[in-house]
Amino acid sequence: MTTSNYATERETTEGKVFTVTGGDWDQVVSGTDPINDERIVVNMGPQHPSTHGVLRLILELEGETVREARSVIGYLHTGIEKNLEYRNWVQGSTFVTRMDYLSPIFNETAYALAVEKLLGVTDDVTERATTIRVLMMELNRISSHLVWLATTGMELGAINMMLYGFREREYILDIFETITGLRMNHAYVRPGGVAQDVPDDAIRKIRDFLVLMPKKLKEYENLLSGQPIWIERTQNVAVLDTTACVALGITGPVLRSAGLAWDLRKTMPYCGYETYEFDVPTHTDGDVWGRYLVRLAEIRESLKLVEQALDRLKPGPVMVADKKIAWPAQLAIGVDGMGNSLEHVAKIMGQSMESLIHHFKLVTEGFRVPPGQVYVGIESPRGELGVHAVSDGGTRPYRVHYREPSFVNLQALPAMAEGGLIADVIAGGASLDPVMGGCDR
């Protein structure tokens, strides 16, 4: 006696429903379902499929195989670029830090470098301010990669990795809070330098972190690298070779995992990166596994850079000397961890009337930037982050446009997903590490 592989079909408002208990799908439906060769359109989202923000994917499926994939963005739109046109140049730092909220220091630094280039004061930024920028960016790179490792681990079933990744990231956010007063959205890197100096407490915390983090990286590798499920879900999944990356404008770890050692810190140095010793990790497989290995290696390189930056921190000012540009950089944070302390306000009020008026005009009106336009690119955790800034000679930007790597890299999703399984869409999308706050700015 033979048993049927499926129960009797039943009609619903959505059409026929089959309860399949075994057998090959094509054989099960071919004799019964007259539309078995038709494709199904599935909405994945709008939700968070490993994107750190809201993304909608429209997938056309044939069984479990993705035949067509389309990305739909715009659900997190903030209008930050437009808002910049209505704020002075220094206030812009408070806006841009909220774009890619997993790497705010990079948004701020790229913006500050562009404004300084327009002002012609690039060479006037102090050595200590530049070193602090490198220190903060590399700590931020580690924290961003930890979020990628944590969320990708969760998406692929490694729940422990989610807990461990955020645990170590918390340590970095604690350092950021000690230095800037805030865990994120810092507005710390400003045109001319940084908002305030790095306190001794933060230096001690960073030294402790440099001892702790290498041990944690070994734990991650012990947890994931030899795990059969992790290997199955990442190796030969969402492959994108060098040719495809270059054609689509893909940068960052995704490009380097395909074998091309393109890193702006090496190829087009800024902030003195050419004077630091570090390597550019690459892989050749161009798959999710390769992106995982590259990001782990990048964390190790960032730890080396942080240590070098700490050793270079020499006493000195953290803001340019020109008082017509220099935002007050000897701030004292209030008891609530935000705003200015009463002592700092009293110091400003107790100076000369001319100094008080200058401070007032600098804060309310801002400084004037000569007319012109510049482009500055830096290497963010997701790839090339570029700022195209245009000035008409006023105290506010005429236009600021960001070349956001998350936005550009999302173009690769159809190329990676089409022809693969629907489950691999999650792994491939996660491996791009897109942050929708950067896409929908």
Instruction: Tell me the mean pLDDT in the region 342-346.
Output: 73
The token pair at 162 is: 């989610």
Q: Which residues on neighbouring strands pair with residue 391, listed in sequence order?
A: 372
The 3-state DSSP class for residue 66 equals strand
Please give the pLDDT value at position 13.
66
23-37, 199-213, 260-274, 361-375: range with lowest mean pLDDT: 23-37
**pLDDT confidence band for 324 (50 / 70 / 90):** confident
pTM for the model stands at: 0.86
**What CATH topology corresponds to 80-323+334-439?**
Cytochrome-c3 Hydrogenase; chain B (1.10.645)
Considering only CA atoms, which of 249, 234, 236, 251 is closest in space to residue 431?
Answer: 234
Distance CA 325, CA 118 (A): 12
Considering only CA atoms, which of 191, 163, 137, 145 is closest in space to residue 329?
Answer: 191
CA gyration radius for the chain?
25
pLDDT in tens, 245-295: 999 999 999 999 999 999 999 999 999 999 999 999 999 999 999 999 999
CA–CA–CA angle 303, 307, 308 (5° rounding): 115
For residue 177, pLDDT over 70 is answered with: yes
Considering only CA atoms, which of 51, 178, 37, 29 is closest in space to residue 440?
Answer: 51
The token pair at 291 is: 């992106």
Distance CA 125, CA 113 (A): 10
**pLDDT confidence band for 350 (50 / 70 / 90):** confident
- H-helix or E-strand spanning residue 373: strand 372-380
Residue range(s) in the chain whose domain bears CATH number 1.10.645.10? 80-323+334-439
Please give the pLDDT value at position 270.
94
- H-helix or E-strand spanning residue 390: strand 383-391
Please give the pLDDT value at position 196.
87
Query: CB of 76 within 8 A of CB of 69?
Result: no
For residue 345, pLDDT over 90 is answered with: no
Please give the pLDDT value at position 35.
55
pLDDT in tens, 90-138: 899 999 999 998 999 999 999 999 999 999 999 999 999 999 999 999 9
Percentage of the chain exceeding pLDDT 70: 86
**pLDDT confidence band for 401 (50 / 70 / 90):** very high
For residue 329, pLDDT over 70 is answered with: no
Query: CB of 327 within 8 A of CB of 187?
Result: no
Provide φ and ψ at 436, rounded to 5°: -70, -20
The 3-state DSSP class for residue 47 equals strand
Bond preceding residue 46 cis, omega within 30 of 0: yes
- H-helix or E-strand spanning residue 57: strand 55-62
DSSP codes of every residue in 245-263? HHHHT--THHHHTTT----
The token pair at 170 is: 């918390």
Residues across the chain: 441
Mean pLDDT of the chain: 87
For residue 10, pLDDT over 80 is answered with: no
| 355-363 LR contacts (CB < 8 Å, sep 24+) | 358/323, 359/328, 362/324, 362/327
Considering only CA atoms, which of 269, 357, 277 is closest in space to residue 311?
Answer: 277
pLDDT in tens, 424-438: 999 998 999 899 888
Distance CA 159, CA 150 (A): 8
Please give the pLDDT value at position 327.
72
Please give the pLDDT value at position 20.
63
